[in-house]
Structure formats: structure tokens, C-alpha cells
Amino acid sequence: MLPRTRFYARAALVLLALIALGSGLWAASAQEGTEEPPPPPPVTEEPTAIPTGEPTGTPPVYITTSEPTQITSGIGGSISVFGGNFTEHTRVRLVGYGLLETQFVNAMSLTATLPETIPPGEYEIEATDPDRGVARSPNRLRVLPPPATAGPEPTERPLPTETPVPTIVPGQPSLLVRGFAANPASIAPGEGTVVTFEVVNQGSRPALGVSVSLDPGGKFVPANGQSGATLPDLPVGGGFTVSLGVVSAMDTPEGPASIPITLTYHDFEGQSYTSNATLSVNVRAVAEASQVTLVRYMTEPNPVIPGEAAKVTVLIMNTGNDTALQVLLRVAGENSVLLAGPQGDTFPLGDLAPGASSSLELPLIVRANADPGPQSQPVTLSYLSDGERHETTSSMTINVAEVIEPEPLLLLESYDFGADALKPGDRFILSLTLKNVGDAAANDLLVTFGSVESDDGGSDSTGGSSRGGSTSTTPSSTFAPLGAGGTVYVGQIEAGGGEVRLEQEFIVNGTVSSGIYGLPVTLRYTLPGGGSAQENLRASVVVIAPPKLQTRLQTPLPDPATVGEPFPVALELLNIGSSSIELREATVETNQGEVIEGASTLLGPLAADGDAMVNAMIMPLEAGPVRVTVTLHYINDLNQPETIVLTYDSEAVEPPPPPEEPPPVEETPMPAGEPEDDNTLGRLLLGFLGLGS
């Protein structure tokens, strides 16, 4: 590869040789007169080597063609180079002449100015880029010598005294359209397509300021506001590809349709030119029909209020391709939310052309008992098409506001039945307080201690309300009211915290088992609007049935008991119920002594018909009343500890005093030699009685 300095020196030598050769040829042609000069010898030079080394990572430039291929020396002009990967730093070079002043058009085309001073000859054309390398055109540029002039042969080439004015070569640019295509190639009336075509300059001068536009007055209009396109300057033989979007008119006839376009441009002398071209696209036949639809609606207010006026604004559009005649809109149907207003429920819209729309304001009234939330409103559209009446059904979604009317709200504020728990057969008085926390008064209040059913099935023993209809009362089977029929008339309870206190006597059913029972309290009253309401409340009552345990002392307590002498307590337990009793322990206590045995006895579950024994020994320590307390500990049916306390009474007395001892009896000595009387039995008897030893 030649160094750059050596390369330029060699190019300068070649240029000087070409100038000398040209001067000789010019002199020879002057001597020969009008004879046609021989063609200049081609100027050749080694092609500039493309730099090698590490790849740059950018695509190299390349040239597919260049034009023109022939010019006349002394006139100048421009050259167009076509290829790819050009940048703003790419320059056009004539091999053997040098770099030209280059204009970057786009990545696929360049233009360069050809000076008038280019010597005659044939030149290779290159595109050189500092980053993308060098590419050579397959075409050459041939520079012809200027035309010969008659006159004596000059012995020496005179020096020009003025700058020569180049002779203008006659000609003009001429643009034509070739190679067009439409995408899609077949459209329906009213649809659009994109036409792509190539504009080529087949004239003898460059075409400057080129623009292409769609002719008005045809069956096609620009799409998306694109009325035309501006092209780069086109050199002689140059071309450029253009795309235009167009839309066909609704009345475009079936078959091939013409798309007229106009090309405007000028040359370097400022002369303006116009060229016309015609493209085509196939238009399909489409059946004509009307299609009237509800495309938009809006309500005011939103949400609408039941029983009040509402204004609905609708937009009706003909989305078909034929005119819809005598269009009518009717807002009505089954379960209609909107009712006819002052202008009725049917509204005329007249005729609607294809694509046309009409807006209407509909004054209507919302049904008073409309359910809250989004509700469907039927809408019917009817029109004439092809002499026949057509009808389409649509709907609107109307958002209905929830209207909350003032109503009473009664609560069971508190209640009491006088004990923590009741037993079967107990009498008790239920005291309760009712409180109205609503925003309306409860009128004609009736309080029923029992469940009340209405004829519309509105009974709810767990709470809730029902309205209207006749009623029947079912009293509680667990708690029976005493002294009244179970229904109390209260009257009115004011809103915002009004209270009333009631009392009712009850008796617990003697056959109920242990448990927590609800005593139903039914409240019936009238609403401010005239309707009736019912509230079902409950008061919870605890009932504990005691175990059926039979107790019996096997032997009664001694009466009286002797102080210091213990006596037994034997208590027999017998379960006479139908379920087991969860016994835990039996404790024995006394007030006048101590329990020397059996103070605590562990027990277990006592099955039905089962028995158990509790044994203890009591020793009175003081004289006086003696009470023996036996406490039976067990777990009741609600899994709570309970006790059964049994008491037995007796009397303790001091023991009797011992009898007085008799005076000692003198013993008569036995005469000597006489045996003693054997009175042993007598002495024992006296000792037992405490009278002797």
C-alpha cells in the first residue's frame, strides 16, 4: 500500500502529463481544421487499495451505478452516485483527478460537482469514507475535449485575458413514473391504500426542487393529511422511490380506478416544469346497506335519582354505506328504568347519510321504584332502507342512586332476668330496654314475646325485618309469659336515642335440659312513609338443670352425741336420672368438733342408676348443737363447676360423770392357819363398777 504523500505526488505527475498531452492534441486538432479529433486515450491508474486491518464493525460503502457517463471539458456539471451505506463524511473521487465537492443526499445517493477544469479522458469513479472504506463504480466518466474552433494554428497557446464563459448545453429535465405498486391492490369504497412508485429523470439536465402531489378533483383524497411529498434533486438518469397514502371516495365505481398525480420541478436556470402521471388501484363492489347504531350516551345527573327528571344525551351514527331514512329512537321496553318525559319516549332524527351522526337530548323521568345500581335500559332504533322498515335493539346502562329514606332502627339496649342462671320451673321477671337509634320515629310499636310470621314469608327468628301482610304469633316453648298474653303495646319511640323499658313475668318449662336459650322478642311498628316494619330480637337466657341425685344416710346421726366419742357418717348417693353425673369430690365439715376420717373423698362419674358412698367419722369436742355439712362437687351440663350442699344436725352432750367410790371395806385378817376366802369374782365385779379393786 502506497503512502499517502507518495500517492499524491504520483497523482500530480500524472495530472501534468495529461495537461501536456491535452495541449498537444489541441494543437494537432487546430492544424487539421475540421477533422474529427481522435478519442482521448484512457487515463488509468492503479485502483486505490481499500485499507485493511481490524474490522470497524460498520458496513462498507458500495456503488451500484453512477451517472452521467459523459461530459464535455470546460462546461462542468454534476454527477450522481448511487449505492449504499453513505454518510455525511463520504466523498466522491475521480481517480486521476482528485476529490470532488460532494453533497450527501441520503444513505443511498450522493451528488458531486464536476469542475470545468477536468481534462479530457476517462476516469474511474470512487466513493471514499474515512470509516467505511472505498468503493468503485462499475461506470466510468468520459470527459470529451471542447469543440474545435477555426483559425490559424497558434504557435503558442495564448494566455486567456478573461475568465471564459462556459457554453450552456441546451436541454431540460424530464421526469416520469415507473414501477408503481399499491398495497392493498384491491380496496372497497371509502378504504385506503398506499401507492409506491419510482420517479426517474430521463432528461438531459438535473431536476431540482422535485415535489409530487395528488391531483384534486378525483375519487381519491390524501390519507392522514399527506397531500404530497418532496423529493431530493434528481440528476440525469437518477431516480427516487416515493410512497403516498390515499383514500377512495364512498362513491368510487367498481373496477380499476385512476389515481392522478402531478410532478413539479425546475432546472438550474430556474425554468419550471410539470409532469403528470396516472396510477391505478382495483375497487371492489360492496353491497350498500344502512346500519344505525347508538355509539355514545351520557346521563345528567349521574347517578340518576328515582322519581326525578333526568336528561340523557345520545349520539346516533349511520355506520353503513347507504342512507338511512326516517330514523326514530324509542326509549322503552320491559323493566324500563326511564319513563316518558314531557316529549314522550320516541324521538325522530331524520335521514342519516353514510358516516353521518346525530346528537339528541332526551328529557325523561326515572322510575320511582327503580333498584339502585347499574340498570339496563332498552333502546330501539328504526329506519327505512331500500323501501323497508328496519329495527335494531340496543341498551343503555343507567346508574341509579340509592335513596336512603329516614327509618327507625330499634335495638335491644339491655335486659335482665334476675339471676345468672335459671332452673327448670323457675319463675322470673324479664326487664328489657328498647332504644331507637334510627333517624325516624317508630310509631304504633307492638312488642311480642315470641316469633311472628307474616303471610309473605317474612319470618326470621334470628333477626331481620319484613314488611306488610297479616301475621301469626308462635310463643316460645321454653319460656311461657305469665299474667299477660305475651304482646305489649308501647306506642311511639322517638328517633335519635328514644328509649322504653318493659317488664314481663315468665316461667321456665320444667322439662327443658341445660342450655342457653333465646327468648324471641318481636317488634312491629309503622314507618314514616306509611309502610310497616318488623324487627326480630333475642334475649339469651341460661338454664341449668340440676342433677337428679338422691342422697340418704344409712344410719341417722346419734342424738344426742357424746362429747369426745366419735360417731360415723355414711351417706349413700344414688343417680335416679337418665344421664351420668360428673361427680368430682365430697367434703365433710362440722362446727363442733373435727372430722377424724373422710374429710375429703374423691368421686368419679356416676352413671344412671349408679350409686356411691361417702363415709366419715365425726368427734364432737364441745357440748352443743352439732351440724355436719357434706358438700358434693360436680361439673354441670354447661361444663361449669357446681356444688350440692347437704346438712345434718344433732346435739352433743357431756359424758355422764363417773359414779362415787364406796368406802373401803376393812378386811378381817384371817386366822392363822386358815385358808383365804376365794373372793376373786367379787373383787373383779367391784372393779368394773369402779367401786373397788
C-alpha cell recorded at residue 603:
368421686
Quickly state the pLDDT bin for 148 (edges 50, 70, 90).
low
Say how far apart CA 177 and CA 187 lie, in whole Å.
22
Q: How does 171-200 read in b/e, with b if 16+ C-beta sit within 10 Å?
A: eebbbebeebebeeeebebebebebebebb
How much is the pLDDT for 361? 92
For residue 366, pLDDT over 60 is answered with yes
Interval 489-499 mean pLDDT = 89
Residues 6 or more apart whose CB falls under 8 angstroms from that of 253 comprise 219, 283
How much is the mean pLDDT over the chain?
Answer: 81
Q: Please give the CATH topology (third level) of the domain spanning 292-400.
A: Immunoglobulin-like (2.60.40)
* Residue 242 confidence class, pLDDT cut points 50, 70, 90: confident
- In whole angstroms, give the CA distance from residue 337 to residue 367: 5
CATH code of domain 410-543: 2.60.40.10
> pLDDT: is 491 or 693 the higher one?
491
Which stretch, 5-19, 145-159, 295-309, has highest mean pLDDT? 295-309
Q: How far apart are CA 510 and CA 97, in angstroms?
A: 132
Candidate from 483-492, 514-523, 578-587 with smallest mean pLDDT: 483-492
How far is residue 669's CA from residue 667's CA, in Å, rounded to a whole number?
A: 6
* Residue 26: how many other CB atoms lie within 10 Å: 16
Supply the pLDDT for residue 227: 67
Query: What is the rounded CA–CA span in Å between residue 198 and residue 244?
Result: 11
Spacing of C-alpha 407 from chain mean position: 36
| Neighbouring-strand partners of residue 542 | 516
Tell me: pLDDT of 125 over 50.
Answer: yes
* In this structure, CATH architecture of domain 175-283: Sandwich (2.60)
User: The domain 4-144: what is its CATH number?
Assistant: 2.60.40.10
Using the predicted structure, report yes or no on whether residue 363 has a pLDDT greater than 90.
Answer: yes
Q: Where does the pLDDT of residue 2 fall: very low under 50, low under 70, confident under 90, or very high at 90 and above?
A: very low
Closest C-alpha among 557, 547, 544, 543 to residue 603: 547
CB 70 within 8 A of CB 90: no
Main-chain phi, psi angles of 574, to 5 degrees: -135, 125
Which residue, among 412, 403, 346, has the nearest Cα to 379 in the 3D structure?
346
Backbone φ and ψ of 450, nearest 5°: 160, 175
For residue 642, count other CB atoms closer than 10 A to its CB: 17
Amino acid at 248: S
pLDDT at site 7: 54
- Contact residues for 292 (Cβ-Cβ < 8 A; gap 6+): 316, 317, 318, 319, 320, 324, 327, 352, 381, 383, 390, 392
Report the CATH fold assignment for 549-653: Immunoglobulin-like (2.60.40)
pLDDT tens-digit series, residues 179-196: 788 888 888 888 889 889
| 83 pLDDT above the threshold of 50 | yes
pLDDT confidence of 25, banded at 50, 70, 90? very low
pLDDT at 269: 84
Q: Would you say residue 391 has pLDDT above 60? A: yes
Query: Does the pLDDT of residue 159 top 90, yes or no?
Result: no
Which residue spans of the chain are classified as CATH 2.60.40.10?
A: 4-144, 175-283, 292-400, 410-543, 549-653
573-630 pLDDT, tens digit each: 999 988 899 999 999 999 988 999 989 999 999 999 999 999 999 999 988 999 999 9
DSSP string, 469-515: S-EEEEE-SSEEEESS-SEEEEEEE-TTTEEEEEEEEEEE-TTPPSE
Q: Which residue has the cell 369436742?
A: 621
Cβ 224 vs Cβ 245: under 8 Å:
yes
- Which of 34-48, 538-552, 641-655, 663-677 is the least confident region? 34-48
Chain center to CA of 575:
67
Please name every residue paired with 123 in a beta bridge, in sequence order, or none if there are none: 141
Instruction: Name the pLDDT band for 421 (thresholds 50, 70, 90).
Output: confident
State mean pLDDT over 506-519: 88
The closest of 378, 367, 359 to 313, measured between CA atoms, is: 359
**Is 50 exceeded by the pLDDT of residue 71?**
yes
Asked whether the whole model's pTM tops 0.85, one would answer no
Distance, CA of 16 to CA of 8 (rounded, Å) = 12
For residue 310, the cross-strand partners are 364
Question: Is 50 exceeded by the pLDDT of residue 355?
Answer: yes
Residue 199 belongs to what H/E stretch?
strand 192-201
What pLDDT sits at residue 52? 40
Per-residue pLDDT tens for 433-484? 999 998 888 888 999 988 887 665 444 433 444 444 566 778 788 888 988 7
Read off the pLDDT of residues 283-326 as tens digits, 9 standing for 90 and up. 887 766 788 888 899 999 999 999 899 999 999 998 887 888 98
